[in-house]
Chain A
Amino acid sequence: MSETIFIEGGRVIDPQSGLDGVRTVVIRDGRIAEVGERVERPREARLVDGRGKWVTPGFLDLHVHLREPGQEYKETVQSGARAAVAGGFTAVCAMANTLPPNDNATVTELVLARAAAAGLARVYPVGCVSRGQKGEELAEYGELKAAGCVALSDDGRPVQNPALMRRALEYARVFGLTLAVHEEDPHLAGRWSMNEGPVATRLGLKGYPAQAEEVMVLRDLALADLTGGRLHLQHVSTAGSVRAVREAKRRGLPVTAEATPHHLTLSDEEVARSGYDTDFKMNPPLRGEADVRAVREGLADGTLDCIATDHAPHAVEEKQLEFDAALNGIIGLETAFAACLELVRQGVLSERRLVEAFTGAPARCFGLQGGTLVRGAPADVAVLDPGLEWTCDPAALHSRSRNTPWKGRRLVGRCTHTLVDGRLVHQLGGGR
Chain B
Amino acid sequence: MIGRHRHCIALEDFSREEIVEVLDLALSMKEVLRRPLKKVPTLRGKSVVNLFFESSTRTRSSFEIAAKVLSADALNWTATGSSVSKGETLLDTARNLEAMRPDVIVVRHASSGAPAFLARHVKCSVVSAGDGAHEHPSQGLLDCFTIRERLGSLSGRTVAIVGDISHSRVARSDLHALQKLGAKVRVCGPPTMIPQGIERLGAEVFHELEKAVAGADAVVMLRIQHERIGDPLIPGTREYSRLWGLNARKAAEWLKPECLILHPGPINRGVELSSDVADGPRSVILDQVENGVAVRMAILYLLAGAGATTEGAPAEKATA
Name A residues whose Cβ lies closer than 8 Å to a Cβ of B. Answer: 193, 196-207, 275-276, 317-318, 320-325, 327
Of A201, A204, A276, A320, the contact of B196 (CB 8 Å cutoff) = A201
Cβ–Cβ contact B111 & A324, under 8 A: yes
Partner of B113, one of A199, A201, A203, A318: A203
Q: Cβ of A193: which chain B residues have Cβ within 8 Å of it?
A: 112
Residue of A nearest to B112 (CB): A204
B89, B112, B195, B198: which contacts A323 (Cβ < 8 A)? Answer: B112
| Inter-chain contacts of A317 with B (CB < 8 A) | 84, 89
Residue of B nearest to A207 (CB): B196
- Residues of B near A203 (CB, < 8 A) are 112-113, 134
Least CB separation from A314: chain B residue: B84
Please pick, from B82, B195, B196, B200, the residue contacting A325 in the complex, using a CB distance under 8 A: B82
Which of chain A's residues have a CB closer than 8 A to the CB of B197? 197-202
Sort chain B's interface into a size bin. 20 to 34
Q: List 13 A-B contacts (CB under 8 A).
A: A198-B201, A200-B195, A201-B197, A202-B197, A202-B200, A204-B132, A204-B134, A205-B113, A205-B132, A276-B113, A318-B84, A322-B90, A325-B111
With A201-B198, A204-B133, A204-B172 already in contact, the answer to whether A275 and B89 are too (CB < 8 A) is no
CB of A324 within 8 A of CB of B89, answer no
Partner of B112, one of A198, A276, A318: A276
A198, A320, A322, A323: the one within 8 Å of B200 (CB): A198
The yes or no answer to B77 lying at the interface (CB within 8 A) is no
1/0 contact trace for B94-123 toward A, CB 8 Å?
Answer: 000000000000000101111011001000
Please state if A325 and B201 are interface contacts (CB–CB under 8 Å).
no
Residues of B within 8 A of A321 (CB): 82-84, 89-91, 117
Complex Cα spacing A197 to B196, Å: 5
Knowing A204-B172, A321-B82, say if A196 contacts B196 (CB, 8 Å). yes
- A202-B172 contact in complex given A276-B112, A318-B84, A323-B113, C-beta closer than 8 Å: yes
Q: Mark B198-209, 1 if CB is under 8 A from A, else 0.
A: 101100000000
Q: In the complex the two chains form, is A201's CB within 8 Å of B132's CB?
A: no
| Cα(A320)–Cα(B93), bound, Å | 12
Bound CA–CA A289/B113 (angstroms) = 22
Query: Which residues of the partner chain A approach B143 to less than 8 Å between Cβ atoms?
Result: none
Which 6 pairs from chain A and chain B are nearest by CB?
A198-B197, A276-B113, A204-B134, A322-B111, A204-B133, A204-B112
Residues of chain A within 8 A (CB-CB) of B296 are none
**Residue contact A205 to B112, C-beta cutoff 8 Å:** yes
**Nearest A-chain residue to B172, judged by Cβ:** A204
* Majority secondary structure of chain A interface residues (helix, strand, loop or mixed): loop
Q: Assuming the A-B contacts A197-B196, A201-B195, A204-B169, are A320 and B91 also in contact, with contact meaning beta carbons closer than 8 angstroms in the complex? A: yes
The proximity string for B residues 242-256 relative to A, scoring 1 for CB distances below 8 Å and 0 otherwise, is: 000000000000000
B312 to chain A, nearest CB (A): 34
Q: A206-B133, A322-B117 are in contact. List 12 more A-B contacts (CB 8 A).
A: A197-B196, A198-B198, A198-B201, A201-B200, A202-B200, A203-B112, A204-B134, A204-B169, A205-B133, A207-B195, A320-B89, A321-B83
B112 in contact with A325 (CB, 8 Å)? no
Residues of A within 8 A of B272 (CB): none
Q: Return chain A residues, CB-CB under 8 Å to B12.
A: 202
CB distance from B101 to the nearest CB of A (A): 22
B174 at the interface (CB under 8 A from A): no
Whether B135 sits at the interface, judged by CB under 8 Å, is yes
- Name the B residues within 8 Å of A324 (CB-CB): 111-112, 132
Contact A275 B116 (CB under 8 A): yes
- Chain B residue nearest to A288 in the complex (CB): B197
Q: State A259–B198 Cα separation when bound (angstroms).
A: 29
Give the chain B neighbours of A325 by CB distance below 8 A: 82-84, 111
A206 CA to B111 CA in the complex, in Å?
A: 10
- The answer to the question of B164 belonging to the interface, with a C-beta cut-off of 8 Å to chain A, is no
Q: Looking at the assembled complex, report how far the CB atom of B304 sits from the nearest CB atom of chain A, in whole angstroms.
A: 22
Q: Which of B156-178 contact A (CB under 8 A)?
A: 169, 172
CA–CA, A91 to B157, complex, Å? 63
Contact present for A275 and B196 (CB under 8 Å): no
Contacts of A275 in B (CB 8 A): 113, 116, 120
Contact assessment for B201 and A202 in the assembled complex, using a CB-CB cutoff below 8 Å:
yes
CB closest residue in chain A, given B119:
A275
When distances are taken between beta carbons in the complex, the residues of chain A under 8 Å from B116 are 275-276
Nearest CB of B to A339, in Å: 24
CB-defined contacts of A320 to chain B, threshold 8 Å? 89, 91
Determine the distance from Cα of A202 to Cα of B202 in the docked complex, in whole angstroms.
11
In whole angstroms, what is the CA distance A318 to B89 when docked?
Answer: 10
Tell me if B217 counts as interface (CB < 8 A to partner A): no
Q: How far is the CA of A318 from the CA of B113 in the complex (A)?
A: 16
Inter-subunit contact A276/B84 (CB<8 Å) = no
Contacting pair B131 A204 (CB below 8 A): yes
Residues of A within 8 A of B135 (CB): 204
Residues of chain B with a CB closer than 8 A to A196's CB: 196
Distance in Å: Cβ of B281 to nearest Cβ of chain A:
34
Q: Mark out the residues of chain B between 268 and 304 whose CB falls within 8 Å of any chain A CB in the assembled complex.
A: none
A201 in contact with B201 given A207-B196, A276-B117 (CB within 8 Å) = yes
Q: Which residue of A lies closest to B199 (CB)?
A: A198
Give the Cβ gap from A186 to chain B, nearest Cβ, in Å: 16
Interface residues of B in 44-59 (CB under 8 A from A): none
A207 contacts across to B, CB distance below 8 A: 195-196
Given known contacts A203-B134, A204-B133, A204-B135, A322 and B113 CB-to-CB distance under 8 angstroms: yes
User: In the complex, how many angstroms separate the beta carbon of B175 from the nearest chain A beta carbon?
Assistant: 10
Chain A contacts of B83 at CB under 8 A?
A: 321, 325
Residues of A within 8 A of B131 (CB): 204
Query: How far apart are the CA atoms of A204 and B12 in the complex, in Å?
Result: 12
* A residues less than 8 Å from B114 (CB atoms): 322-323
